[in-house]
Chain A
Amino acid sequence: MDVMPKWAEVLLVPLISLVLAFLISALVILGIGENPLNALRLMINGALGSAYGWGYTLYYATNFMFTGLAVAVAFHARLFNIGGEGQALLGGLGVALVCLYIPWPHWTIALLGAMGAAAMFGAIWAAIPAWLQAKRGSHIVITTIMFNFIAAALLNYFLVELIKAPGGDPATARFPEATNLPTFYDMFTPLGLSFSRSTPANVTFFIAILACIAVWALIWRTKLGYEIRAFGHSEPAAKYAGISPTKIIMVTMIISGALAGMMAINNVMGEAERLNLNAAEGAGFIGIAVALMGRSHPIGVFMAALLFGFLYQGGAELAFSTSIPSQLIIVIQALVILFTGALDNMVRMPLERIFLTLRRPPKPKTKLEAAE
């Protein structure tokens, strides 16, 4: 089975896919009359070249880690949770309600409360499609997609009719000062690292890392994780072993929804410090790409989230300082998704062949294997 060494599987395949995606992007950039090397330099400088750039890259990456983990957990049970977007929106609603209506004495306690609320709202939003899948057999892909729209409509109702701040903008009032999370600027300035005051990266980044570790422990070090994986590999086998499909579907989706919902502590509580209509801005969908690219492994998700954070921030810098239209950044992102997700085998199969040739002792038997 293991044709390639582990390092090639985990690093080489995504890396080659990435290089291919960048090469085609370079052709597109050439096509519109810009210098691709210059563009790449701008992206790298803009996203990683300064504390300012890192402050944005890590902020986006934090969002993608949560939604990527959410998709990854569900995927271990072969459940395709496309509803990360809606779950993150609802998580935002939870955060807003908790931050606005409970007088928190200090941000640490507020953070715990907001995490709880975000996770709970996200989990509830994922639990309904999960229940429909487990009990009624309604396909989870369809129901979670539809729940994204219901979430948007619900949020719209709340923000236009119920918790809107006075004034034209359909958004809540600003959260009180005590709930504002410390940003990298607040945290690292005493340590001598100068992060720009205006960058949105905040303490949530570390919570996202903790979440990565927690997901790893859950999937590979607990009985529940084993059951989730067993169910994912074969439902009849899992049933035969006494694992309840209903329980696994419900629990997995609740964990998945909770993770997606917790994204809201980064973008709603950490960055905007209020809830607006467009809070999740597609991070729920990027999470799918992140999980695919990260092979549903927390370390992979972490790396892929960093990559997409880089693409987001680097892309923004590109639009700021060149005439490359901002739509092109979406093209680059799409190519990365295409190569790392959908066209994975295109890179994997030739690589496997190369590794087979390298490993194979020079015997006549090889012809047969090559024919495979």
Chain B
Amino acid sequence: MTLKHTFMGAAAALALTATGVLADPAVVFDLGGKFDKSFNEAAFNGAERWKEETGGSYREVEMQSEAQREQALRRLAESGSNPIVMTGFAFGNVLSEVAPDYPETTFAIIDAVVEEPNVRSVVFKEHEGSFLVGMMAAMASESGTVGFIGGMDIPLIRKFACGYAQGVLAVNPDATVIANMAGTTPAAWADPVKGSELTQAQISQGADVVYAAAGATGVGVLQTAADQDILSIGVDSNQNYLHPGEVLTSMLKRVDNAVYDVFAAGDAVETGVNVMGLENEGVGYALDEFNADLVTAEMQAAVDAASAAIIAGETEVHDYMSDESCPALSF
């Protein structure tokens, strides 16, 4: 008995050492850097959470140029990092070339689908989360006009806008949705002044709730909305705390969970397409002490009912990216 225990203990110790030699995971941040208060930062937070909880270590690389994408992936794969997580659709094209060369390494890409046996593609149903916050915007609005401010005008952001507009119209079919994009260059993700200007313009058109899906540009949107005493809606991370009592809610996109899940699973991570929607809390709306007074019980009940209906498949939210068009909003 004791002997058996000793053996089992030894085996367990061996197993532990075996995990110890296993490669560290790695995360590659897209252009924009890891402290963008938004998408990349959410990924960084997920990685940090994993580090804190497990005491493990991970490698990280920040992109400086387009040509470095392939370079970074190959370097990490060759140095034995596994799994390798990358943030952003822009890696899709490169990854489909790199992944077959490293069949032993598992890659995870966020916001794009790459069909290779060793790739986990994590995509989010941003349109569903946006639909819910759109409903809340319509219920909170007194003027019947609500705004949307996007970052760079790309299909992904139109997907946010389209879901939002559908949510607004689901509550109030007569509502007006004003949608603006901050720009057409990557600078549009980091232009709070432009975000502020657009918010002013939308207020002058009657908007009394604005939803920002614009990275750091959204900081300006939320600020101006708070200054002008209208409500705003944050994005990606929970931004309610930025202006307590002035931010109606935030549309959560749990990139941090996606990264955390991959890191926690290690090289046993499941490959294939991983859709993060309402059903697995990949997207959602934020409710905390900062917006508790703004969200009425009626509002919450309506949104939760809609959420349940979407999960059950009774309500379908149109995804802009499925056919590049939006029934509720024209761009």
Contacts and interface: CB of A to CB of B under 8 A. Distances in A.
Partners in one complex: yes
Interface of A: 56, 59-60, 149, 152-153, 155-157, 160, 164, 167-171, 174, 198, 200, 267, 271-272, 274, 276-279, 281, 312, 315-316, 319-320, 325-327, 329
A170 B64 contact: no
Contacts of B74: 198
B107 to A, nearest CB: 16
Contacts, number: 83
A325 B29 CA distance: 13
A264 to B, nearest CB: 13
B184 A326 contact: no
A169 B31 CA distance: 15
Given A56-B71, A160-B154, A276 B66 contact: yes
B67 A274 contact: no
Contacts of A149: 185
Interface string B105-117: 0000001110000
A287 B62 CA distance: 24
Contacts of A315: 64
B64 A200 contact: no
A171 B185 contact: no
Tell me what chain B mostly uses at the interface: helix, strand, loop, or mixed: mixed
B93 A156 contact: no
Question: Closest 6 CB pairs between A and B?
Answer: A156-B184, A153-B184, A152-B185, A170-B154, A326-B62, A168-B89
A274 B152 CA distance: 20
Contacts of A327: 33
Contacts of A174: 93
A198 B66 contact: no
Interface of B: 31, 33, 61-62, 64-68, 70-72, 74-75, 89-90, 92-93, 111-113, 152-156, 184-186, 321, 324
B61 A320 contact: yes
A134 B111 CA distance: 47
15 contacts: A168-B111, A168-B155, A169-B112, A267-B67, A271-B66, A271-B67, A272-B66, A277-B186, A278-B186, A312-B65, A315-B64, A316-B68, A319-B61, A319-B64, A325-B62
A276 B90 contact: yes
A329 B112 contact: no
A149 B187 CA distance: 11
A237 B155 CA distance: 54
The residue in B64, B70, B156 that gathers the most chain A C-beta atoms within 10 A of its C-beta is B64
Contacts of B186: 277-278
B66 A168 contact: no
Contacts of B156: 168
A326 B28 CA distance: 13
Contacts of B33: 326-327
B28 to A, nearest CB: 11
Contacts of B113: 167
A320 B81 CA distance: 13
Given A168-B89, A319-B61, A198 B184 contact: no
Contacts of B31: 278
